[in-house]
Amino acid sequence: MHGSESMTADIPLGLGVYFLLVALLNVGFVAHQVYGRRNRLAALVWGAVAAVFLAHAVAFFLQANAIARAEDRLTRADDNLAQAAQGKDNSDAVASAHEEVERARQDLKEKRDAVWVLPAGYRDFVDWLMGPVTYFVMAVIGFVLFLAFRRFLTEPVVAWAVLNLGLFAAGWAITDANFRVIVTKPDNVPIVLLVFTVGFFTWLAFRKAVVNDDRVAKGEPPLEKLEDDKVLVWPDLVYTELIAMIVMTFVLVVWAVCLKAPLEPPASTAKAPNPSKAPWYFLGLQEMLVYYDPWMAGVVLPTMIIIGLIAIPYIDFNQKGNGYFSFAQRKFAVTTFLFGFVVLWCTLIVLGTFLRGPNWNFFGPFEYWDQHKVLPLNNVNLSDYFWLPLGVVFEEGQGIGGILLRELPGIVLILAYLFLLPPLLAKTVLRSFFIRMGFMRFFLLVNLMQFMAALPIKMVLRWTLNLKYIVYIPEYFFNI
């Protein structure tokens, strides 16, 4: 699908509108720098950025116009050919019309080929970079870097620059046909909004946290304490909710008109969708099913998430940072929550939406979703890793004793992870937590963290060592 046949005039026209809107956003930022911040140098820099986006908009508008003209020419040529074919004894006219059609097709192909698209080398590099291991590793590294350099990255100018880079890369990515098909599906549009909204609100929360941390360090109250004025439910809150309801109703109506409902034909055993995906808000659970059995991924882990959310108020012993944004006073709580929500949950949703294709194989964002793609998988259980090098082979049909002996390495590893790791943490890196929280709260906290960490641990083991099960007891339908 990298050919030019799918490049209609609507695509460069839409890209022209897109880049024009981004240029207007930067013009507004320039006005803010001039009249609000009185920073002429920054205004010049962002004016140049706006000019770059405006140049892209003009270029795509011109390309759209050229394709539209070529399409009109081809349509007229086809009509002339049809009229000539209806006449009698006009072979010369038919031949001439055929030649005109061929010239129009060649002209249209040239106009489509002239549209700006991402270089193939860049697409191939991004496809390689977005492999499962590198994708997850980059997510973790990006999360750590954001926390470490939050003071710099939350500066409005820096955040605006990152947003512009993202919008610029997204605009160019849309020029690829495969990427365009995936991103513009009605099912996937909310995920695109999720990426930007999660990024925006995370930045906003950390920006306020950085400002509050600086104020607290100087002995000043947080910003929220300065705006501690009470407002009345009527009319202040009711009016605000009414306006929000009207705005969201308008947005949903426009959404429903512009995007077709992602409804498919009635379910049939004769033809199943490939890939068959859950709704986007359940894609994280569906991705977990790749690494754990349904009883673990669909019952135990979601239950632990619910229990953890219920237990948070009773586990938390830190009285600071309540009622206002702060990172310095709640480093552990904020880091743990964001790792679970952003790095694990949102990352799995994006992975399941854009990188999981037919047969639930991994595909790069610019890779064609070939339903015939076959990847050889050689998943091995932990017992095989342990016993086969020793020359020990367990026959089928053994009793419970043989089964336990076969899975002894995995059972020991699971028991050590669940029961030996918490006391070790209580005596070492989390000793201060153990002293302040007490026995019950500390071990509940550590167990919840262990279940949360079990998912990325199993993901990495599957991707790197092809490890399928740590404990494999199919005789009793018990696998971990």
pLDDT for the residue 370: 86
Contacts 24+ apart (CB under 8 A), 306-315: 307/448, 308/448, 308/452, 311/444, 311/448, 314/441, 315/437, 315/441, 315/444, 315/445
pLDDT for the residue 273: 79
pLDDT at 164 over 60: yes
Question: Tens digits of per-residue pLDDT, 57-69?
Answer: 999 999 999 998 8
pLDDT for the residue 163: 93
pLDDT for the residue 416: 93
Quick check: 348 and 339 in contact, CB under 8 A? no
3-state class (DSSP) for residue 479? strand
Question: Using CA atoms, how far apart are residues 463 and 252, in angstroms rounded to an integer?
Answer: 40
Question: Tens digits of per-residue pLDDT, 462-477?
Answer: 888 888 899 988 888 8
pLDDT for the residue 228: 66
pLDDT band at residue 88 under the 50/70/90 scheme = low
pLDDT for the residue 142: 92
Question: Using CA atoms, how far apart are residues 479 and 458, in angstroms rounded to an integer?
Answer: 13
Q: For the residues 9-19, what does the mean pLDDT come to?
A: 92
pLDDT at 365 over 80: yes
pLDDT band at residue 89 under the 50/70/90 scheme = low
Q: How far is CA 180 from CA 71, 73, 93, 184, 273, in A?
A: 21, 27, 41, 6, 20
| Lowest mean pLDDT segment, chosen from 3-12, 114-123, 419-428 | 3-12
List the alpha helices (DSSP H) in 114-131. 120-129
pLDDT band at residue 21 under the 50/70/90 scheme = very high
pLDDT for the residue 412: 93
- What value does the mean pLDDT of the chain take? 87
DSSP 471: S
Burial 82-104 (b: 16+ CB within 10 A, else e): eebeeeeeeeeebeebeebbeeb
Of residues 31 and 264, more confidently modeled: 31
Q: For the residues 22-42, what does the mean pLDDT come to?
A: 90
pLDDT at 447 over 80: yes
pLDDT for the residue 293: 87
pLDDT for the residue 87: 67
Number of C-beta neighbours around residue 71 at 10 A: 17
pLDDT band at residue 3 under the 50/70/90 scheme = very low
Question: Using CA atoms, how far apart are residues 68 and 74, in angstroms rounded to an integer?
Answer: 10
Q: For the residues 434-451, what does the mean pLDDT come to?
A: 89
pLDDT for the residue 80: 80
Q: For the residues 7-15, what does the mean pLDDT come to?
A: 88
